[in-house]
């Protein structure tokens, strides 16, 4: 039997292969996870809530089934983001309002994961209600970046990204409205994929037809990300946006890397400042593609309405989802939440209609853009990891931001287009901090995205090969 350290060093695909051959058991994996969490999490605070007894009960029940009937994941342990309900497990949303909340039922996405043999062992840390790109809250505190524990892990899936980078998980669940899968992936050197809306069924919120938020997979490499997407996807009648499962596997696409023919690159999408070092690292990745024979063109679709449209639609969603909390618990919400809710409450119908119309035109222009290009490449974040004590970046490359989410525009611009997008590591700064490349494909073309991203992964060779121990560096960058 492999040791715990050997198990955590394996890829998710390798571990699932061993599970399906009966060479290891889910219980052995849970033991390895528990040991690794005890060694690492006190430093980084990524997994504040564990449910290992529940996990072991689920594992034993799964082991009563034949090996071939244990689902796509076959008993693989994983954490769920603390914005998402898991039955009988503390789910705080990072808020004092829910500090003692134990839901009776799970979100659709959790039921899907468990039906495919995923074993939930805990909850990953988040910012309050997922707001802002820095994972800290008043319930559990801050999650620290393992590359440098004085730095932010970004967010809102920051706990999930840190758990992956440090070997406390093989895959992890996340969700994304303004970059919450992609931002922490960029800061922590792992992969985070925001699928097209509907690819992963989820319990709808107040706005049942919202196209802003999606759930998606995170992992240390492209193939593991594809494996988890296979387990996540599928139709559910309770989610009216959900799409049927495809006849082919995403893992098959990822395991057959495909060289793109024509790729667009943009350092800023024409809408945001970008740290020059981050832009240079991402441009160097595009240059590597060009040197391999790919036709790389510096261009992007017209996304000039991004800030106005996203700020309006996000504020509308926040007002719809959180106004009752502001009425009942104003003193318990962080100021950024209060601002976003109140902004939404002040919107007129005309402003919402205008934003929806402009978004429709953005989607049409983006779909037409992918008639010419296989991929669009950009930085996943405009900065590398900033000090964890800063709530969010207030400026970049000499340009000050008006709001706490302006620094996320390069991610939320793509949210508005409905195109699937992932962040994958493409280089390190002069201080050794990861930089993520955002790789974007035509809406609903996750298979093509993964096949091309697998080619880029091989070309760049930046994947975390071995789970890292947190680095106790405290630089003033």
Annotated catalytic sites, by residue? 81, 156, 180
Contacts of 381 (CB under 8 A, 6+ apart): 133, 154, 179, 182, 183, 186, 187, 278, 407, 408, 410, 411, 423, 435, 436
Collapsing DSSP states into helix, strand and coil, what is residue 171? strand
In whole angstroms, what is the distance from residue 239 CA to residue 245 CA?
14
What is the Cα Rg of the chain in Å? 21
> Do 148 and 387 form a contact (C-beta atoms < 8 A)?
no
- Rounded to whole angstroms, the Cα distance separating 57 from 381 reads 40
Could you give the angle at which helices 222-232 and 108-115 cross, rounded to 10 degrees?
110
DSSP characters over 172-183: EEEEESSSTTHH
Cα gap 56→164, rounded to integer Å: 21
110 CB-near residues (< 8 Å, 6+ apart): 80, 84, 85, 86, 87, 120, 173
Q: Tell me the angle at which helices 409-417 and 349-369 cross, rounded to the nearest 10 degrees.
A: 80
Q: How far apart are CA 21 and CA 5, in angstroms?
A: 20
Rounded to 5 degrees, φ, ψ at 13 are -60, -40
Cβ atoms of 216 and 410 within 8 Å: the answer is no
Short-list 393, 468, 372, 373, CA closest to 428:
468
Residue from 75, 63, 69 nearest 16 by CA:
75
3-state secondary structure of 395: strand
Q: What is the rounded distance in angstroms from the CA atom of residue 195 to the CA atom of residue 229?
A: 9
Query: Distance between CA atoms of 249 and 360, rounded to whole angstroms?
Result: 30
CA distances from 101 to 54, 187, 402, 415 (A): 17, 30, 34, 30
Q: Mention every residue, 6+ apart, whose C-beta is less than 8 A from residue 262.
A: 294, 295, 297, 372, 373, 374
């Amino acid at each position: 039997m492999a040791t715990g350290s050997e198990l955590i060093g394996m890829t998710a695909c390798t571990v699932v292969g061993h599970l399906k051959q009966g060479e290891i058991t889910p219980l052995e994996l849970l033991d390895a996870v528990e040991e690794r969490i005890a060694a690492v999490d006190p430093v980084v605070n990524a997994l504040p809530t564990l449910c290992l007894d529940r996990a072991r009960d689920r594992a034993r029940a799964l082991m009563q089934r034949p090996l071939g009937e244990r689902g796509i994941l076959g008993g693989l342990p994983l954490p769920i983001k603390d914005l998402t309900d898991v039955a009988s497990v503390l789910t705080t949303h990072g808020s004092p309002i829910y500090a003692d909340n134990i839901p009776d039922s799970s979100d659709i996405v959790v039921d899907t994961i468990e039906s495919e043999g995923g074993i939930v062992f805990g909850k990953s840390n988040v910012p309050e209600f997922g707001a802002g790109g820095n994972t800290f809250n008043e319930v559990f505190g801050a999650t620290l970046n393992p590359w440098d524990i004085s730095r932010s892990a970004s967010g809102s899936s920051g706990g999930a990204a840190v758990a992956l980078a440090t070997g406390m998980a093989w895959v992890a669940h996340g969700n994304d409205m303004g970059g919450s899968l992609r931002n922490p992936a960029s800061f922590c050197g792992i992969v985070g994929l925001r699928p097209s809306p509907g690819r992963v069924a989820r319990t709808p919120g107040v706005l049942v037809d919202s196209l802003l938020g999606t759930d998606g997979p995170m992992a240390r490499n492209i193939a593991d990300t594809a494996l988890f997407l296979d387990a996540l996807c599928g139709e559910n009648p309770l989610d009216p946006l959900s799409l049927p499962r495809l006849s082919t596997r995403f893992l098959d696409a990822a395991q057959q890397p495909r060289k793109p023919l024509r790729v667009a690159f943009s350092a800023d999408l024409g809408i945001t400042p970008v740290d020059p070092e981050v832009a240079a690292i991402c441009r160097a990745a595009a240059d590597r593609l060009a040197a391999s024979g790919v036709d790389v063109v510096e261009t992007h679709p017209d996304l000039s309405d991004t800030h106005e449209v996203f700020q309006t639609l996000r504020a509308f969603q926040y007002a719809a989802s959180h106004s009752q909390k502001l009425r009942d618990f104003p003193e318990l919400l962080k100021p950024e939440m209060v601002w976003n809710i109140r902004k939404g409450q002040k919107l007129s119908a005309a402003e919402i209609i205008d934003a929806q119309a402009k978004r429709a035109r953005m989607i049409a222009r983006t779909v037409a853009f992918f008639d010419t290009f296989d991929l669009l490449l950009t930085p996943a974040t405009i900065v590398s990891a900033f000090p964890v004590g800063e709530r969010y970046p207030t400026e970049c490359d000499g340009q000050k931001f008006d709001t706490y989410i302006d620094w996320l525009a390069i991610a939320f611009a793509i949210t508005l287009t409905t195109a699937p997008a992932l962040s994958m590591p493409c280089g390190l700064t002069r201080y050794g901090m990861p930089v993520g490349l955002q790789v974007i494909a035509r809406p609903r073309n996750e298979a093509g995205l993964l096949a091309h991203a697998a080619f880029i992964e091989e070309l760049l060779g930046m994947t975390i090969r071995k789970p890292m121990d947190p680095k106790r560096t405290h630089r003033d960058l």
